[in-house]
Amino acid sequence: MKGQIEMKQELFFGNWLSAATDEKLEIHEQSWLLAEDGKIKSLGKEKPQVAESVRVHNFGDKLLIPPFSDLHLHAVQAMNCGLGLDLTLLDWLKTYTYPEESRFADPAYAEAVFRRVIHELWKFGSLNSIIFSSLHKEATLLLMKLLQEAGLRAYVGKVNMDRLSPDYLHESAEESLAATREWLEESRAYGALVKPIITPRFAPSCTDQLLEGLGLIVEDYDLPLQSHLNETPEEVALVHELFPRAQNYLEVYEHFGLLPRGKTVMAHCIYNSREEEAFLLEKQITIAHCPSSNMNIASGISRIRDYMKEGFLIGLGSDISGGESLSMQQVIKDALKSSALLSRKRKLTVPPLSLNEIFYLATRGGRAFFPESGGFEEGLSCDFLVIDDEVDKLPRQFSLEERLHRFLYYASPDEITTRVLAAVILPEPQL
């Protein structure tokens, strides 16, 4: 057993803001946070008594908030950000996405792009993320290695797809399953922060044989799973055509054992049937709400605030390059905007997402995958972002809550000046 004297302590001072629940903004103004071995020990007004050797980080009047969790993004689509956003899902995949993803057979290209993605995750404060790679095993391992080196926390998935893809981006079911098992063995090297996640692209991209094999792998390795669900009406129609025996889209995944309870994240979830909604709840599936993408490629608006109030697990995803940016501030704005439009559509009978609700989704929405991050309670990992909003230069005063509003809805991402994970300040990743 470790003696207290061996524990590594750090002290941090500033204004701490977190979303304790979706209804409550928790503020610790001008307070001290004590970390021990990377975990939060205490947070309060009084300065803890510590040894003189303990390092003190004084962030003065700055805002300190939990890091963002980006629950859905395609690292291999990063170079397409901002391109082709006047197409809809299925056309967009063929015209922009598949050609770009095929480039990741080249490790040099993969490294150049992944370094940019990792730099942006760091820059924008998304210290927790759940990532789609491409179908290439080597590129996927490289992405995991680079994330680990950058000190970011992530789940990464090698994509599986053996149907409806072009010749130049195709694997057979056997190849896909074999490569997945190899990848899982080789990815054991990245255990602490970076973990594998099973990643069938989406049901239409996979034959029964592939889905069945992936179900066995999920069971064998006790792994989490990510995929897409009910993004557009056209996609839902395609699933019905390809899987005529399934009652609905979600049942396709369930049939093959691809919904590990409490460890599944499904992107989008806009066009859910009542049966699927009940099942999403029952299986404790996390919904990755991707409002930027859902607007960009004309998918629609998910009734995310209802779901939150009904007890669903929900977080936010940038979904690049359906979403155009890895900035969670952009995703937060888009969540608010699309929620407000839904409120208008319902003649304002239901309010749009509030500031605290969006803050909660952005920081705590990944709690099924990152239970150690997202808040400042004792025992959690000491993770936070430092926001320097240069408030002393502004013509008038703002409350801490207003400063948080301004940061989330208005500010440049450059206001994030420092990122801390497990009490360690993360250095800028190499480009």
For 421, phi then psi, to 5°, come to -130, 125
Closest contact distance (angstroms) between CB of 347 and a copy of itself is 8
Q: What is the DSSP secondary-structure string of 75-135?
A: GGGGGGTTSSTTS-HHHHIIIIIHHHHHGGGSHHHHHHHHHHHHHHHHHTT--EEEEE--S
DSSP 198: B
Based on CB atoms, which residue is closest to a copy of itself, 304 or 408? Answer: 408
Quick check: 418 binds a copy of itself (CB under 8 A)?
Answer: no
For 8, phi then psi, to 5°, come to -90, 115
Q: What is the largest CA-CA distance in the chain?
A: 69
- 22-30, 145-153, 366-374, 395-403 -> range binding a copy of itself (CB under 8 A): 395-403
CA dist., res. 353 & res. 306, Å (int): 10
Quick check: 295 binds a copy of itself (CB under 8 A)?
Answer: yes
Closest contact distance (angstroms) between CB of 306 and a copy of itself is 16
Quick check: 86 binds a copy of itself (CB under 8 A)?
Answer: yes
CB atoms within 10 A of CB 330: 17
- 23-31, 47-55, 186-194, 389-397 -> range binding a copy of itself (CB under 8 A): 389-397
Among 42, 88, 209, 284, binds a copy of itself (CB under 8 A): 88
Quick check: 79 binds a copy of itself (CB under 8 A)?
Answer: yes
Closest contact distance (angstroms) between CB of 237 and a copy of itself is 12
Across the beta sheet with 128-132, what order do the strands follow?
69-74, 128-132, 153-157, 194-196
Could you tell me whether strands 416-421 and 384-387 are parallel, antiparallel, or unpaired per DSSP bridges?
antiparallel
**At residue 339, what is the residue type?**
S
Quick check: 83 binds a copy of itself (CB under 8 A)?
Answer: yes
Residue 37, classed as helix, strand or coil, is coil
Quick check: 292 binds a copy of itself (CB under 8 A)?
Answer: yes
- 26-34, 236-244, 366-374, 406-414 -> range binding a copy of itself (CB under 8 A): 406-414
Closest contact distance (angstroms) between CB of 414 and a copy of itself is 8
**String marking each residue 203-222 x if it binds a copy of itself according to CB under 8 A:** --------------------
Residue 43, classed as helix, strand or coil, is strand
Quick check: 112 binds a copy of itself (CB under 8 A)?
Answer: yes
Based on CB atoms, which residue is closest to a copy of itself, 161 or 336? Answer: 336
Closest contact distance (angstroms) between CB of 84 and a copy of itself is 8
Helical H segments across 124-272, by residue range: 137-150, 173-186, 208-221, 233-242, 249-255
Quick check: 301 binds a copy of itself (CB under 8 A)?
Answer: yes
Quick check: 107 binds a copy of itself (CB under 8 A)?
Answer: no
Write the CA distances from 179 to 87, 140, 186, 395, integer angstroms. 32, 11, 10, 59
Quick check: 402 binds a copy of itself (CB under 8 A)?
Answer: yes
Among 207, 247, 284, 354, binds a copy of itself (CB under 8 A): 354
Quick check: 300 binds a copy of itself (CB under 8 A)?
Answer: yes
Based on CB atoms, which residue is closest to a copy of itself, 298 or 425? Answer: 298
Tokens standing for residue 182: 């190899």
Quick check: 81 binds a copy of itself (CB under 8 A)?
Answer: yes
Closest contact distance (angstroms) between CB of 145 and a copy of itself is 18
Task: Map the footprint of a copy of itself across residues 315-344, applying CB under 8 A.
Answer: 324-325, 333-334, 336-338, 340-341, 343-344
Quick check: 48 binds a copy of itself (CB under 8 A)?
Answer: no
CA dist., res. 97 & res. 105, Å (int): 14
Question: CB under 8 Å to 383, separation ≥6 — which residues?
Answer: 66, 67, 127, 128, 372, 373, 374, 420, 421, 422
Quick check: 299 binds a copy of itself (CB under 8 A)?
Answer: yes
Across the beta sheet with 416-421, what order do the strands follow?
39-44, 24-36, 9-21, 55-65, 384-387, 416-421, 424-425
CB 71 within 8 A of CB 264: no
Quick check: 77 binds a copy of itself (CB under 8 A)?
Answer: no
CB atoms within 10 A of CB 74: 26
The contact set with a copy of itself (CB under 8 A) reads 79, 81-86, 88, 103, 109, 112-113, 116, 292, 295-301, 324-325, 333-334, 336-338, 340-341, 343-344, 348, 351-355, 394-396, 402, 405-412
